Amino acid sequence: MLSAYTSDEIRAAERELMARLPDGTLMRRAATGLAATCAGLLPRVYGGRVVVLAGGGDNGGDALYAGAALARRGARVHAILAGRTAHEGGLGELRRAGGRVAEARSGDAVLMEDLIVRADLVMDGLAGIGGAGPLREPYATLARLCRRAEGVVVAVDVPSGVDASTGEVAGEAVRADVTVTFGAVKIGLLIDPGASHVGALTPFDIGLRPWLPEPGVVALTGADVAARLPRPGPESDKYRRGVVGVVAGSDRFTGAAVLTVGGAVRAGAGLVRFASSAEPVARVRARWPEAVTTVLAPGEGIGEVGRVQAWVLGPGMGTGEDAHALARSVLGSDVPVIVDADGLTLVARDRSLLRREAPTLLTPHTGELGRLLGVPSGEIEAARLRHARRAAEELSVTVLVKGSTTLVAEEGRPVRANLTGTPWLATGGTGDVLAGIAGAFLAAGMTCYEAASCAAHVHGLAARMAAGGPGEGEAPVAALDVALELPAALRSLTVG
């Protein structure tokens, strides 16, 4: 499991460790790891063009020492000093190694721009983990120039302009190709918008682990998910494997029903009971004959559907009076319920639907979460972590916030950030598939917290497989493609 921490937690651990080490040891450790990573990213070290962007803090010192190490190996290193002061030890070592130095505040702006644009590698040591709020000048200009760099951009500990504790970005921020982070992963490196500035995340151990507290944010690995997923045994039958009920779809939105049921079926539900109006029931029967279906009359509840271990409520069901009555029937049950899509709209209008004893999992995107909390979606996107925690506490539920960073929040537990997925998931119907997956896991006996976390991970894996691979080799996917790849995604998980 990958653990992540706030900047205050990291600095407290650093103080504990530094009190036990000779002065400068920790910075030397960090600089050694940074220099080794940068050397591996250069086409060649000898003669390579390296630009070090150094602020006045410890990250600037790390970068200057790393630049000196590369200069001793023959790299042509230029340091651009952004602060009024620079780390004296690092600056002195860089100069002794043959590195050149320019002052951003008083230097030749055209020359500095040319250095950054033409460099083989740019090292961003402008701002440290304590930085918050927008970058001031000349930091903001230097961060902006990094976008034009032809070479690789390496962030030192955290991309400058990204809040290390939250992932919030208040203005200009460096977009790195690689981020070398020291001691432990910072929360802001896992959560958008900050996560989109990180590039490839490379943690480097400097010995902080004994002094770190319990993390506030974690991310499951594939091995973590594999260890948590329910597996059938010799005595299993369809009922022991979990019966999930799905209330989804309408005459207008039949596809939502097909996709939600498909997510549950392909994720391994023992049995799926589907209930809706006649048209979506016909579509589900045709596509997923494994499902047991019930046609509901307008205003009818779920009393005749049969016993289930969990419900999925909402995708495409509509938001009128009949839908509200049906939602009240499902949420009045004594089993866990996942509320998605139109179900979230109904809950946002009538919070009394959430007054229940059994566990509840809400799966909103940022717009839906905004309606639940009365906050514009833009504010949610800018501060995902804060609003995910607020929703879990205020609504007394487990919350899975969908988006470029998927977060799972439950009061009293670390927030889980999901690291799988692809931008191609931003297409209609993929959230319905996710709801079905989570429903299958919940019906199999997992808690809302575990089911949501594992469903997000598996959903992201399936999407990557459907897209064909990481990076530029990926192709567009449709929601049904994701559902169909679920068995392959589950097979790919092995316990480490």
Does 299 show up as a binding residue in the annotation? no
Does 60 show up as a binding residue in the annotation? yes
Does 139 show up as a binding residue in the annotation? yes
Does 132 show up as a binding residue in the annotation? yes
Does 58 show up as a binding residue in the annotation? yes
> Of 255, 311, 307, which is closest to residue 439 (Cα–Cα)?
311
Does 133 show up as a binding residue in the annotation? yes
Does 59 show up as a binding residue in the annotation? yes
Alpha-carbon span 188 to 196, nearest angstrom: 10
Does 431 show up as a binding residue in the annotation? yes
Does 436 show up as a binding residue in the annotation? no
Does 65 show up as a binding residue in the annotation? no
Does 432 show up as a binding residue in the annotation? yes
Does 238 show up as a binding residue in the annotation? no
Does 402 show up as a binding residue in the annotation? yes
Does 83 show up as a binding residue in the annotation? no
Does 163 show up as a binding residue in the annotation? no
Does 377 show up as a binding residue in the annotation? no
131-135's contacts with Cβ under 8 Å and 24+ in sequence apart are 131/158, 131/160, 131/161, 131/163, 131/164, 132/163, 132/170, 133/170, 133/171, 134/161, 134/170, 134/171, 134/172, 135/160, 135/161, 135/171, 135/172, 135/173
Does 55 show up as a binding residue in the annotation? no
Alpha-carbon span 453 to 211, nearest angstrom: 27
Alpha-carbon span 308 to 247, nearest angstrom: 12
Whether the CB-CB separation of 63 and 89 falls below 8 Å is answered with: no
Does 427 show up as a binding residue in the annotation? no
Does 418 show up as a binding residue in the annotation? no
Does 469 show up as a binding residue in the annotation? no
Omega before residue 43 within 30° of 0, cis: no
Does 179 show up as a binding residue in the annotation? no
Does 171 show up as a binding residue in the annotation? no
Quickly tell me which residue has 């320019």 as its tokens: 102
Does 157 show up as a binding residue in the annotation? yes
Does 160 show up as a binding residue in the annotation? yes
Query: Running DSSP on this structure, what letter comes out for residue 132?
Result: -
Burial per residue of 273-302, b for 16 or more beta-carbon CB atoms within 10 angstroms, e otherwise: bbbbbebbbebbeebbeebebbebeeebbb
Alpha-carbon span 157 to 201, nearest angstrom: 10
Whether the CB-CB separation of 48 and 120 falls below 8 Å is answered with: yes
Look up residue 372 and give its two tokens: 């639940």
- Known binding residues for (6S)-NADPHX: 58-62, 128-134, 139, 157, 256, 316, 365, 432
Q: Which residues are annotated as a binding site for K(+)?
A: 59, 124, 160
Feature table: binding site:
58-62, 124, 128-134, 139, 157, 160, 256, 316, 365, 402-406, 431-432
Annotated binding site for AMP, which residues? Answer: 402-406, 431
